[in-house]
Structure 1
Amino acid sequence: MQIEILEIRDHLSRFVPFADLPEDSLNLIAGQIEVAYFKAGSDILQYGAPIHELHYVRSGAVEIYRRSGELHNRLSEGDIFGQVGLLRSNKVRFPARAIEDSLIYFIPAAVFAQLCQQHDAFAEFVEAEGQSRLKSAVESQGQASELIKLKVQALISREPVCVSSDTSVQLAAQVMTAESVSSLVITAPAPDNQNMVGILTDRDLRTRVLAAGLASGSPVSQVMSPDPITIQSHDSVFAAMLCMLRHNIHHLPVVQQRRPIGLISLSDIIRYESQSSLYLVNAIFNQNSVEGLQSLLPDLRASFVRLVNEQATAQMIGSAMSGIGRAFCQRLLQLAEQELGAPPVPYCFMVNGSMARDEQLVVTDQDNALVLDDRFDPALHDEYFAQLAQFVSDGLAACGYSYCKGGIMASNRQWRQPLKQWRQYFSQWIEQPNPRTLLNSSIFFDLEGIYGQTELVDELKQLLAQKASSSPAFLAAMARNALNRTPPLGIFRNFVMETDGRQKHIINLKGRGTAPLTDLIRVHALACGSQAQNSLLRLDAISKTQLLQPEALDKLRYALEFLSKVRIQHQARAVSEGSEANNYIEPAQVSASERHNLKEAFQVLNHAQKFMRFRYPAQPGQKP
């Protein structure tokens, strides 16, 4: 084979959609390629002109335009264009112009048609625009594990055992014994006894009846858990697991059109998932020391790797890992209270950042704070809460959740304040934004109360949603702050590499990808007054407004899921190999198709940031 043809074939094999073609197909293409040279500024394709070749950029740079003359895309080495015209009556649909001296390979239409006919992946690639290709990549990554495919109704072995709310606790216990069940569904008294009003478990009988010395004739309405969390029968077992994780419950009523049809327990799921996240959470609450919790760190990593290997979605993995993180926090708080005694005033332990968004992974640090009742008196009470916060922070560090380098922890006196002070913080940050307070806002405005009086944090959520949405100056400042981290793309869609001191030619998937994406989604969510914390739920809230077009929202979803999944898979490989997990990838070490999809995802971020600059213009007195 001629040297020139070998060189052409080898170059094609480095880029999608040619990278996955067999060698004989690459030889076919290379043998029939024609080469053309275009000077900078010259037209390559004009709208409506006949087209009979697929165009491949061998070197240089090309701009693609819409029919209106608006810039559609910038292409560089390895990119293709002209495929839309070949697929639609052999007429140019998107004009092209060389913006640098460029060498272009021409692949004949007959060869193009043969490749489409013989290779489905090639056909799918050229028939799809960037968003569709990214969507396809996301969907192909999310092949469901058995737990995701399995429906909750498959776990139901019998109808729920029910008693009415006016039944005595003694009779309820007798029913549980006779039916060999550990929980009962509590219904309203006749004639409304089809409506579920509560749930009663063995634990309720122990803690609320026996331990409290309650009379056996008392009605179960006094000791049941009212308005229980439920799950639909058609939901997945994985969804049930996440529900139990998030709310730390062991029994979950299953409903069908609001009617209870069964009751599943922690043990039902563990039978299917002996190493599940729920199993780990159960183990966390059975530990009685920090050392015991620390011993579960290998199980935490194993659970993460298993979720990745089962190809759960990034959202599912983030929710599961956040649930595990909350369980560590909650158990440490319980142990702290056992050691220090009951708190002198009510409080809420607030988590921030990725745990609050249900997007935590295996590489993470602490972001937390204490919101205290307004009766808090520093002179009388702060010593207790300082010790509690330090106990929890040290315990989390021992369990793999490193200390926050910026000091965003409840052990820092600044972040251990009564509700009235937190209200002042939030109001001041919104009303008088500056670089320091904007940094605080980007952390604390992802917030969730996970222990204690959670309504204290709910008040802050309400305040935030109300004030932020009505403050254009704050939103503009937040938008400018969110633009500080840009995607790693050069002007021609080439990766811009960086170094972390140990590695060269890397991309920080978090710092240059998922983090700026969550930043801009947060700004839009605040603008529409949403109290959602998870990024995908925030996009759902935004979709109910006219803030972003449906197509733009879909692109953000696909880009976030893809970047998150690449980051997750990278970390899982490191954990499996026993090396230190991080957020850095080397593009040269990933496949050609993955590099292409990374570029598409970063391009989505790039366009979204440009729109955000336009949507939230700098206010008078602000720097543009």
Structure 2
Amino acid sequence: MQAELIDIRNHMAQYPPFDELAEELLDRVVGGIEVVYFRAGSPILELGEQNDWLYYIRSGAVEIYRRSGELYNRVGEGEVFGQFGLLMNKRVRFPAKALEDTLVYKIPGSTFQYLWEHDENFADFVEIEDRSRLRSALSRREKSNELMTSRVTRLISRKPVSAPSTVRLQEAARIMTDQGVSALLLMDETGEHPRLQGIITDRDLRTRALCEALPSETPISEIMSEDPITIRSSVFIFEAMLTMLHNNVHHLPVMEGEEVRGVIALSDIVKYESQSSLYLVSNIYHQQHVRGLKKVSRDVRDSFVRMVNEDANSHMIGSAMAGIGRSFTQRLLELGEEKLGPPPVPYCFMALGSMARDEQLVVTDQDNAMILDDSFVPEEHDAYFLALAKFVSDGLAECGYTYCTGDIMATNPKWRQPLRAWKAYFTDWIDNPKAEALLNSNIFFDLDGIYGQTEFTEQLKTLVAEKAANNKRFLAFLARNALNRTPPIGFFRSFVLEEGGKQQKTFNLKRRGTGPLSDLIRVHALACGSRAQNSFERLKAIGQTKLLLDDDLGNLRDALEFISIVRIRHQALAIEAGREPDNNVRPEDLSPFERSHLKDAFQVVSNAQKFLRFRYQPQAARHVP
């Protein structure tokens, strides 16, 4: 092959769909190419004219138009155009014009037809639009992980073992021994149909019965866990894993309607979940001091990398990391109470930001607060809660969760307040919105109670859901703040990079990617009155209200997933290379596949921000007195 053709082949092999072609097919493409040069401003394709070529851009940029003359897209190096006409009747459907001096490879229609017939990936690529290609790329990735494609019923190996909730302790132990199970379901049989009332496990028998030397005739109802956490038979295995992580339980009854289909245990999921994040959480709760927790924390990054290498999706990874972070926090609170004594009044420890959204990764800091019972008297009680907050905050720092630079932590007295004060905070933020105040309090609209009286947090979620949806002024201010961070994509679909400083020639995938997405999704979710916190769950809630079209929701979901996965992989590669992970990416470190689809994803974010500006009129917020 001539040197010029080798150069063409090497260039095309970097970009989809040619990067996945078999070598003989790529050789066939390169052998029939014609090279054409277009000056800036010159037409390339005219509406309705005959077209027998697929166009591949070697350098330069091209504008694609709708038949109305409206700009449809801009494409650059490594991208193709002209495919839609070839798929229809070989008539130009989208006119094209060179935006700048552009070098193009023309691929004959006969070669295009041959590739379309003989290569499924090529056919998929040219048949669907940019954002649909993003969905296609994610679908292929998801299919590679059994945790995300297998239903939880696959783990059920036997019928559930149950007993009436009126049995005695010794009888319950005998049934579990005879049946060889580690959990026994306890049923309320007083109605027409038996109803699941509780569950007892081997661990419960040890800690609640044997350690307390309870008599064998003790009613099992005295030590059972009432109203156990359950899952539906239709969910996937990864959802069961996240449920166990979030609630620190090792057994889950699987429900089909009101009937128990079976019980799955932690050991069942570990057969699939070799990342061992469930075992890591279990190990956290066995530690008796901060030194032990610090030692266990070294395994967090290993668990993260294993999940990435096994093709877990971003929701699974973010939820697992948040579950691990919650577990460190909860164990520190338990140890703190052992050290300081029982709390003088009830309280709730509240997670904020990415932990509350189940979107935490390994590069993260602390964002938390305390809600205290309204019987709280600062002069009598605050010394205890300050000491507890400091014990937890310092312990988290030891375990790799750095202090919040904005001081949004329970150690700050402003964020350690009784419930009535928190209700006043949220009421003021919503009823009397101010741009700067909301900018600093955005994080409080992602909240989750993780320890203590978690119903306090539920009350705040209810207050926000009821008040925010009906307050256009508040939503306008929130939307204005959500537009402060824009995706790093320029006018010509090129990446916009940082200038100066140690992050020069990079873009930040959190600040310019997942951050703007979670911000705008939050606005829509609050406008819908949703109580959901996770961005994917918020998108589901938004879909139920029809505020956004299904296609727009799908585009947002795919963009969030793809940007998150690129960010996650960037951090995992840094860990494997022995570097400190971060969120700053250089375009040259990304594969052509990642670069191409990131541009698609960033375009989705840009379009979504335009709709946010139209929907909530944030420009008016700055003029409101």
Deviation (angstroms), 1:47: 2.2
1:600-619 map, 5 Å: 600-618=600-618
For the residue of structure 1 that corresponds to 2:67, the secondary structure is coil
One-letter identity of the residue aligned with 1:343 = P
Deviation (angstroms), 1:132: 1.8
- After superposition, the Cα gap between the structure-2 partners of 1:9 and 1:182, relative to the gap in structure 1 and judged at 3 Å, is closer
Deviation (angstroms), 1:481: 0.9
Which residue in the other structure is 2:453 paired with? 453
Structure 1 residues 96-144: Cα deviation after superposition (integer angstroms, max 9, x where no partner): 2333344444322123223334443333222221122101111222244
For the residue of structure 2 that corresponds to 1:544, the secondary structure is helix
Q: Is the 8 A contact 2:480 2:621 kept in 1?
A: no
Name the CA distance, whole Å, in 1 between partners of 2:621 and 2:281: 51
Q: Is the 8 A contact 1:164 1:193 kept in 2?
A: no
- After superposition, the Cα gap between the structure-2 partners of 1:17 and 1:275, relative to the gap in structure 1 and judged at 3 Å, is closer
For the residue of structure 2 that corresponds to 1:582, the secondary structure is coil
- After superposition, the Cα gap between the structure-2 partners of 1:463 and 1:258, relative to the gap in structure 1 and judged at 3 Å, is same
Q: Over aligned residues, Cα RMSD in angstroms? A: 2.6
Deviation (angstroms), 1:360: 0.9
- After superposition, the Cα gap between the structure-2 partners of 1:346 and 1:85, relative to the gap in structure 1 and judged at 3 Å, is same
Which residue in the other structure is 2:308 paired with? 308
Name the CA distance, whole Å, in 2 between partners of 1:40 and 1:273: 54
Deviation (angstroms), 1:209: 5.7
Which residue in the other structure is 2:398 paired with? 398
- After superposition, the Cα gap between the structure-2 partners of 1:398 and 1:109, relative to the gap in structure 1 and judged at 3 Å, is same
Name the CA distance, whole Å, in 2 between partners of 1:143 and 1:291: 40
One-letter identity of the residue aligned with 2:294 = Q
Structure 1 residues 457-497: Cα deviation after superposition (integer angstroms, max 9, x where no partner): 00110111111111111111111111111111110101112
One-letter identity of the residue aligned with 2:286 = N
Which residue in the other structure is 1:469 paired with? 469
Q: Is the 8 A contact 1:372 1:418 kept in 2?
A: yes
Q: Is the 8 A contact 2:143 2:149 kept in 1?
A: no
Deviation (angstroms), 1:436: 3.0
> 1:77 aligned to 2:72?
no
- After superposition, the Cα gap between the structure-2 partners of 1:475 and 1:51, relative to the gap in structure 1 and judged at 3 Å, is same
Normalised by the size of structure 1, how large is the TM-score? 0.93
- After superposition, the Cα gap between the structure-2 partners of 1:533 and 1:407, relative to the gap in structure 1 and judged at 3 Å, is same
For the residue of structure 1 that corresponds to 2:393, the secondary structure is helix
- After superposition, the Cα gap between the structure-2 partners of 1:500 and 1:553, relative to the gap in structure 1 and judged at 3 Å, is farther
One-letter identity of the residue aligned with 2:276 = S
Which residue in the other structure is 1:350 paired with? 350
> 1:561 aligned to 2:561?
yes
Moved more, 572-581 or 31-40: 31-40
> 1:138 aligned to 2:138?
yes
Which residue in the other structure is 1:578 paired with? 578
Which residue in the other structure is 2:185 paired with? 185
Q: Is the 8 A contact 1:167 1:219 kept in 2?
A: yes
Name the CA distance, whole Å, in 2 between partners of 1:247 and 1:208: 19
Name the CA distance, whole Å, in 2 between partners of 1:251 and 1:17: 45
Deviation (angstroms), 1:433: 2.5
Moved more, 614-623 or 479-488: 614-623
One-letter identity of the residue aligned with 2:467 = K
Name the CA distance, whole Å, in 1 between partners of 2:272 and 2:4: 58
One-letter identity of the residue aligned with 1:381 = H
Name the CA distance, whole Å, in 2 between partners of 1:615 and 1:302: 43
Structure 1 residues 379-435: Cα deviation after superposition (integer angstroms, max 9, x where no partner): 111110001001111111111111111111111111111111111111111223234
Name the CA distance, whole Å, in 2 between partners of 1:93 and 1:181: 65
Name the CA distance, whole Å, in 1 between partners of 2:92 and 2:501: 47
Q: Is the 8 A contact 2:275 2:307 kept in 1?
A: no
Name the CA distance, whole Å, in 1 between partners of 2:33 and 2:96: 19
Deviation (angstroms), 1:37: 4.5
Name the CA distance, whole Å, in 2 between partners of 1:345 and 1:114: 74
Moved more, 161-170 or 326-335: 161-170
For the residue of structure 2 that corresponds to 1:296, the secondary structure is helix
1:356-371 map, 5 Å: 356-371=356-371
Moved more, 340-349 or 130-139: 130-139
Name the CA distance, whole Å, in 1 between partners of 2:118 and 2:204: 64
Q: Is the 8 A contact 1:187 1:193 kept in 2?
A: no
Deviation (angstroms), 1:251: 2.3
For the residue of structure 1 that corresponds to 2:400, the secondary structure is coil
Moved more, 178-187 or 540-549: 178-187
Name the CA distance, whole Å, in 2 between partners of 1:271 and 1:107: 49
- After superposition, the Cα gap between the structure-2 partners of 1:621 and 1:277, relative to the gap in structure 1 and judged at 3 Å, is closer
Which residue in the other structure is 2:100 paired with? 100
One-letter identity of the residue aligned with 1:618 = P
Q: Any stretches of 5+ residues in structure 1 without a counterpart? A: none
- After superposition, the Cα gap between the structure-2 partners of 1:209 and 1:518, relative to the gap in structure 1 and judged at 3 Å, is same
Name the CA distance, whole Å, in 2 between partners of 1:349 and 1:128: 47
Q: Is the 8 A contact 1:166 1:189 kept in 2?
A: no
Moved more, 519-528 or 424-433: 424-433
For the residue of structure 1 that corresponds to 2:476, the secondary structure is helix
Structure 1 residues 561-589: Cα deviation after superposition (integer angstroms, max 9, x where no partner): 11111111111122222221111222212
Which residue in the other structure is 2:538 paired with? 538
Which residue in the other structure is 1:283 paired with? 283
1:43-122 map, 5 Å: 43-122=43-122
Structure 1 residues 318-359: Cα deviation after superposition (integer angstroms, max 9, x where no partner): 111111111111000000000000001100000011111111
Q: Is the 8 A contact 1:143 1:311 kept in 2?
A: no
Which residue in the other structure is 1:492 paired with? 492
Moved more, 417-426 or 147-156: 147-156
Deviation (angstroms), 1:242: 1.6
Q: Is the 8 A contact 2:479 2:618 kept in 1?
A: no
Deviation (angstroms), 1:92: 1.1
Q: Is the 8 A contact 1:143 1:312 kept in 2?
A: no
Deviation (angstroms), 1:206: 5.7
Name the CA distance, whole Å, in 1 between partners of 2:191 and 2:17: 66
One-letter identity of the residue aligned with 2:442 = S
Deviation (angstroms), 1:193: 5.5
One-letter identity of the residue aligned with 1:480 = R
Which residue in the other structure is 1:550 paired with? 550
Q: Is the 8 A contact 2:142 2:148 kept in 1?
A: no
One-letter identity of the residue aligned with 2:226 = P
Deviation (angstroms), 1:364: 1.1
Which residue in the other structure is 1:507 paired with? 507
Name the CA distance, whole Å, in 1 between partners of 2:557 and 2:308: 19
Q: Is the 8 A contact 2:345 2:372 kept in 1?
A: yes
Structure 1 residues 481-536: Cα deviation after superposition (integer angstroms, max 9, x where no partner): 11111111110101112257335422211111111111111111011110000111
Which residue in the other structure is 1:523 paired with? 523
Deviation (angstroms), 1:259: 1.8
Structure 1 residues 243-263: Cα deviation after superposition (integer angstroms, max 9, x where no partner): 111111122223334322433
Name the CA distance, whole Å, in 2 between partners of 1:588 and 1:246: 37
Moved more, 506-515 or 451-460: 506-515
Structure 1 residues 166-191: Cα deviation after superposition (integer angstroms, max 9, x where no partner): 33445434544554544321111256
Which residue in the other structure is 1:427 paired with? 427
One-letter identity of the residue aligned with 1:538 = R
Deviation (angstroms), 1:618: 3.1
- After superposition, the Cα gap between the structure-2 partners of 1:170 and 1:22, relative to the gap in structure 1 and judged at 3 Å, is closer
Q: Is the 8 A contact 1:34 1:105 kept in 2?
A: yes
One-letter identity of the residue aligned with 1:540 = K
Name the CA distance, whole Å, in 2 between partners of 1:23 and 1:247: 50
Which residue in the other structure is 1:238 paired with? 238
